[in-house]
Amino acid sequence: MSTLDSAFSALADPTRRGILARLAKGEATVMELAKPFHMTQPAISQHLKVLEHAGLVVSRVDGSRRPRRLAKPAIDAIDQWLAMLRKALEKNYQRLDQVLAAMEKQKEGEGK
């Protein structure tokens, strides 16, 4: 739960969502990430730190480069959590569908 908390907090920032969107297309270095966002490398590094702490992004060492990529387990966990929440919400509304159908039936009965 605490991992999900920090994951959602990390996602609250538009720049960090942008970084994730970029990484969804493939791994990238800090320099490559900094360019489209018109931000300094230290600023991007700060955002990456939050994303790594939340378990959303991981890095690997490639010589002097440290490309980042999305961490699949964390992303899957968020997907699963949201799917569960959607199910709970949809369940309420399916119950509401039935309530509305019963209201309609009652109205027809009264009209006769």
Residues that bind another protein (CB under 8 A): 1, 4-5, 7-9, 11-14, 17, 20-21, 24-27, 69-72, 75-76, 78-79, 81-83, 85-86, 88-93, 95-101, 103-104
Residue with tokens 């720049």: 15
Pairing relationship of beta strands 68-70 and 57-59 according to DSSP bridges: antiparallel
Between residues 5 and 62, which has the closer beta carbon with respect to another protein? 5
- Smallest gap from residue 101 Cβ to another protein (A): 8
Between residues 17 and 66, which has the closer beta carbon with respect to another protein? 17
Nearest alpha carbon to residue 14 among 22, 26, 4, 3: 22
- Smallest gap from residue 13 Cβ to another protein (A): 7
Between residues 17 and 35, which has the closer beta carbon with respect to another protein? 17
Between residues 12 and 61, which has the closer beta carbon with respect to another protein? 12
All residues at 6 or more sequence positions from 11 whose CB lies less than 8 Å from its CB, including other chains = 17, 20, 56, 78
- Smallest gap from residue 15 Cβ to another protein (A): 11
Enter the tokens of residue 74. Answer: 């964390």
- 33, amino acid identity: L
Nearest alpha carbon to residue 77 among 8, 24, 25, 20: 8
